[in-house]
Structure 1
Amino acid sequence: MHLSRRNFTRLAALSSLTAATGGAAVFGMPAPALAANTAYVFGYFKETPNESGDSYALHLAVSTDGLNWRPLNQNNPVATPTAGTLGLRDPFILRKQDGTFVVLATDLRGRIFNENNQYLHVWDSTDLRSFTGYRRIRMHGLNTHTWAPTAFWVASRNQYAIVYSAYNGADVFMVNYTSDFRTVSTNQVYFSPGYPVLDADIVVDGSTFYMYYKNLADGLIYGARSSTGNPNSYSNYTSGLRQGNAMEAPLLIRSNTGSGWRLWGDSFSPVNNDYYAWSTSNIGGNSWTLLNQRDYTPPLNAKHGSIVGVTAAEYDGLVARWGLPSWVRLKSYNFPDRYIRHADNIGRIDAYPFDPHQDQLWRMVPGLADAAGVSFESVNFPGRFLRHSNYAIRLDANDNTATFRADATFTRVAGLADSSWSSFRSYNFPDRHLRHSGYVLRIDPISASSSATDRQDATFRVS
């Protein structure tokens, strides 16, 4: 049984956008003058190991670098299906030829993957601040699923292609063509290489169509390409990639700068929210460099989503409409899969995911002893703060004594291992910094002359 996918969308070059009528380009007219993309939006649904944080609706996060993400709307949904299964997976955001957006998603709620469905959810949006025209479109009449949609413009047809995973005697990719995301052509097989496949992501770069997908026979991610983008016209050109035990939902995106590419992969299991990413300067080659997990921070609990580039004005509009989170997460520098959390009132760093996932959420408030400093208030236990006691870090209720206020106050400084990160110096023991040791938090004397390990243990990313 296969999980559906996180299928990010490509970052289309705005220079290729043309004026459009009903989704079709108007030829012979100049492209509209559109601002360049400088930021990114991530659309996703959510799952956690014990299902307490599951949300089968559209969520959004924003980023200025395409690597580190901040959820919008406090990580609550911005759109929820009102028909079909009343839930979605694998939301895919596409910027259309006229500069507006369309959202496609799998019509599936929960983790029961043997339910067949012939439909996709669809919304329209001018700027991702609101979602209109909700509908479901029927993609085929087969007794099978319709998973993980991706869509892209095919100039030779003057139409969009919608490609998705389905079963047609084997696990294949199907395609339907459309001009308006309301009516679609008859489905046909798009890619059936002789082994089962899942989760296509297709990017058009110049005259070449690049498709990355999962080979279910060996669990690896492969890249294929075509000069036409026509059904069954792709040939593999990369060797297989994988990190961890299993992966799915490959995503190929180009940087907003127009230089360099990233390939993402999502963990196969909902109990493991790991993301992996590679980079390359040559999309046509077969040389991918694995990124360190400290270089990126996915949205909290995000699964199987999509990324689209947005302008500075669109980014500002999204933040104004939905708001940035009122809480932060603190990521370990030298164990970047681990976050500061409380467990049984002890401060520690643990590999995410874990439940309750709220144990890692903190409100950074003005320091209780000095407003120029910071204190960390638990989100799921309001009124309780991280404080040191005999140099060990605990989560305790604020008793409003001078000692508690001082113990719970820290001075935020440049990261001791990396100045772009942060370290936290104790307010009442200013020669000591917050650090982890054996994954447990404490304050110890650490300075720029301390060992590299000590400096790394005391460095965190606030995200």
Structure 2
Amino acid sequence: MKRRITCLVLTLCLALTAFAGKPAYLFSYFIGNSEDGLHLAYSYDGLTWTPLNEGRSFLTPAVGKDKLMRDPSICQSPDGTFHMVWTSSWTDRIIGYASSRDLVHWSEQQAIPVMMHEPTAHNCWAPELFYDEPSQTYYIFWATTIPGRHKEVATSESEKGLNHRMYYVTTKDFRTFSETKMFFNPDFSVIDAAIVKVPKSGELIMVVKNENSNPPEKNLRITRTRNIRDGFPVEVSAPITGDYWAEGPAPLYVGDALYVYFDKYRDHRYGAVRSLDNGKTWEDVSDRVSFPKGTRHGTAFKVDASVVEALLTSSTSSTGNQ
């Protein structure tokens, strides 16, 4: 029996070694209203995404007013640790945080009190993580409405009172955080910002959603900078998405191609646009991508293929907690 177990372990180690150094991609997402927590899918080509853990959740939400886990954003640190933040409620002034070494077993969940100093803050939506290599610093940024704080925009009756801007904090260790500051303040209501680094030039491209509702925009646009510490220009591009409502952009380089995946939330399906010139021109490739049924807003990130293979061979069948 021991010899059989040893052979299985050796086979697994050899399989993981064979995949070491090869690229693969993960997509973190939620389904429904996110009550069951974190879901993961994988891809080797950026087009076909397959659910992991047989479509079951990897982590059940435990913090926040509503104990949700919407918009999970995952970033892998240089030491291999995966850090995740998420939206914990429609009306929280905190965001959720947890970490993991293997995406299966997770640390105790924490509430980061990013807007508790703003008593009238309406929300903390769709937090995203970005690791700035030059300063070895993590940026956490999210959308918040603070009534009367910003230039008013025309809103529909259903979205009356919502006027979002992007705020941020920084951290090096996820134990201490900077004070909350303004991150992106354009002349429109903005949510769902996500950043990707151009591999060769190091330039940063940020995708945002224009959330204006009267008349409705509900499209994705980009802005770019050389250094995140300098901020992003508030003059954004023309829409990169088409004549449909889009949100939850997830930018990802697959080779030289830049994909932006997004939720066509009115159509109840996922879409994508692709650029072969680092965001200068775009083509809609929604008909070429496939995602697990019910996929909602998340993030796409590159990992070593051995990470995916370990998840595929994992026998976990329930939520992982340490």
TM range, smaller chain: 0.7 to 0.9
Distance in 1 (CA, whole Å) between partners of 2:20 and 2:41 is: 21
Q: Which residue of 2 aligns with 1:266?
A: 263
Q: 1:237 to 1:82 in 2, by over 3 A?
A: closer
Q: Could you tell me whether the CA contact under 8 Å between 1:174 and 1:191 is conserved in 2?
A: yes
Q: Could you tell me whether the CA contact under 8 Å between 2:28 and 2:38 is conserved in 1?
A: yes
Structure 2 counterparts to residues 94-133 of structure 1, below 5 A: 94-108=75-89, 113=90, 116-133=91-108
1:311-341 per-residue CA deviation (whole Å, 9 max, x = no partner) reads 22211100011579xxxxxxxxxxxxxxxxx
Distance in 2 (CA, whole Å) between partners of 1:292 and 1:91 is: 22
Please identify the structure whose Cα radius of gyration is greater. Answer: 1
Instruction: Say if 2:210 is the partner of 1:215.
Output: yes
Instruction: Say if 2:51 is the partner of 1:74.
Output: no
Q: Could you tell me whether the CA contact under 8 Å between 1:220 and 1:241 is conserved in 2?
A: yes
More helix by share: 2
Structure 1 counterpart of 2:30, which letter? F
Q: Could you tell me whether the CA contact under 8 Å between 1:56 and 1:89 is conserved in 2?
A: no
Q: Which residue of 2 aligns with 1:362?
A: none
Q: Could you tell me whether the CA contact under 8 Å between 1:59 and 1:75 is conserved in 2?
A: yes
How many residues align? The count is 274
Once the two structures are TM-superposed, the CA of residue 68 in structure 1 deviates from its matched residue by: 1.3
Q: 1:323 to 1:126 in 2, by over 3 A?
A: closer
Q: Which residue of 1 aligns with 2:248?
A: 249
Once the two structures are TM-superposed, the CA of residue 197 in structure 1 deviates from its matched residue by: 0.6
Q: Which residue of 2 aligns with 1:200?
A: 193
Q: Could you tell me whether the CA contact under 8 Å between 1:140 and 1:186 is conserved in 2?
A: no
Instruction: Say if 2:224 is the partner of 1:229.
Output: no
Q: 1:63 to 1:318 in 2, by over 3 A?
A: same
Q: Secondary structure at the match of 1:319?
A: helix
Q: 1:160 to 1:146 in 2, by over 3 A?
A: same
Structure 2 counterparts to residues 48-197 of structure 1, below 5 A: 55-84=35-64, 85-108=66-89, 113=90, 116-141=91-116, 142=118, 143-168=121-146, 169=149, 170-197=163-190
Question: What's the RMSD between the two structures over aligned residues?
Answer: 2.2
Structure 1 counterpart of 2:271, which letter? Y
Q: Which residue of 1 aligns with 2:26?
A: 41
Distance in 2 (CA, whole Å) between partners of 1:320 and 1:41 is: 15
Once the two structures are TM-superposed, the CA of residue 223 in structure 1 deviates from its matched residue by: 0.6
1:126-154 per-residue CA deviation (whole Å, 9 max, x = no partner) reads 12132123212111222221111111122
Q: Could you tell me whether the CA contact under 8 Å between 2:250 and 2:298 is conserved in 1?
A: no
Unaligned ranges ≥5, structure 1: 1-33, 325-463
2:273 corresponds to which of 266, 278, 284: 278
Q: Which residue of 2 aligns with 1:417?
A: none
Structure 2 counterparts to residues 362-381 of structure 1, below 5 A: none
Once the two structures are TM-superposed, the CA of residue 119 in structure 1 deviates from its matched residue by: 1.3
Question: Which structure is richer in relative contact order (CA contacts within 8 A, separation 6 or more)?
Answer: 2
Distance in 1 (CA, whole Å) between partners of 2:187 and 2:31 is: 33
Structure 2 counterpart of 1:36, which letter? G
1:317 corresponds to which of 289, 310, 313: 310
TM-score by length of 1: 0.55
Once the two structures are TM-superposed, the CA of residue 230 in structure 1 deviates from its matched residue by: 2.8
Q: Could you tell me whether the CA contact under 8 Å between 2:35 and 2:67 is conserved in 1?
A: no
Distance in 1 (CA, whole Å) between partners of 2:76 and 2:307 is: 12
Q: Secondary structure at the match of 1:80?
A: coil
Q: Percent identity?
A: 26
Distance in 2 (CA, whole Å) between partners of 1:204 and 1:242 is: 20
Q: 1:260 to 1:322 in 2, by over 3 A?
A: farther
Q: Which residue of 2 aligns with 1:289?
A: 283
More strand by share: 1
